[in-house]
Amino acid sequence: MRIFNARTKKTEEVPEIVKTDDEWRKILTPEQFEITRRKGTEMPFTGKCDLPLGKGLYRCVCCGTDLFEIGAKFESGTGWPSFWEPVSELNVRIKTDKGLFLERKEVLCARCGAHLGHVFDDGPPPTGKRYCINAAALRLFETGGKKKKMEVATFAAGCFWHVQEEFDGVEGVARTTAGYAGGTKRNPTYEEVSAGRTGHAESVRVEFDPSIVSYDRLLDAFWRMHDPTTLNRQGLDIGTQYRSVIFFHSKKQEEEAEESKEKMGKNYKKPIVTEVVPAGEFYPAEEYHQKYNMKRGASCRL
């Protein structure tokens, strides 16, 4: 069979890999075996799928076949690693899955038949695909550099579509997730939040590389993208869900946020009403809200 080698950029003839269940159990963890050989699914937001500092590949945990380039990974907000394309259509096999009383497209490793996940037609450009893959089915192979040491920041500045788009454009930001923070209800829905019944603010969680962009620089971007003097309102969006908030994750972030707020206050005639509060539970918004402006060409700028 033919498999594409993502490092040499050449197609190679390789043998298909077939093993018994006992043989697979000897080389896989119980979780890896259950997912790849028994078509299981890991719980969302539990799998670890690291980003390397340089280039990298995600390989099949069973046979080592190259599956996805690190550059094809994006944050879908679903709780599973998502990619918009594999390294080659030769390396994955798509099969109709009629389980769970619905029809989906299952993604398998072409060489060993490992169950990887499913592919959907709601991904970002350029393919419009979302390969939703179990982290336990992947093994990271770094082709250069060291693993990134990431930090997290969370902000609310009105409609999270716009806020996410703005932070995605900041160099050093690795991923963003639109969601809900600062409320009282567990696992709120968009309808509940938009009705103002849960106390949450439309927010964006930002994962960033502090060696490239500082927290203070993220604060500068935060102030520029909205009007921090309007209470519970940004443009035509009115309600506590659109309030201005900096959710700090450490004492250092709190100090920098307060200092930045005081400094920015000198630039406005009206007082800044932005809250600076501890980051509590963050709930990712529904998938269709993730990268909304990028996927649909929408805009909600002030």
Distant-in-sequence, close-in-space partners of 262: CB < 8 Å, separation ≥ 6: none
Catalytic-role residue among 62, 109, 112, 159:
159
User: Can you spell out the DSSP letters for 286-301?
Assistant: PGGGTTHHHHH-----
Specify whether 132 is catalytic. yes
Q: Of 138, 137, 132, which is closest to residue 80 (Cα–Cα)?
A: 132
d(CA 241, CA 156): 9
* CB atoms closer than 10 angstroms to residue 84: 20
| Helical ranges in 129-205 per DSSP H | 160-168, 190-194
Specify whether 159 is catalytic. yes
In Å, how far are 142, 194, 227, 260 from 266, measured between CA atoms? 47, 32, 14, 10
Tokens of 36: 């790849």
d(CA 28, CA 66): 18
- Amino acid letter, 52: P
Query: ∠254-50-100 over CA atoms, to 5°?
Result: 110
Asked if 208 and 151 touch (Cβ cutoff 8 Å), the reply is yes
Catalytic-role residue among 63, 112, 132, 300:
132
Asked if 158 and 164 touch (Cβ cutoff 8 Å), the reply is no
* CB atoms closer than 10 angstroms to residue 20: 8
Tokens of 76: 């879908």
> Would you give the end-to-end CA distance of the chain in angstroms?
55
| Residues involved in catalysis | 132, 159
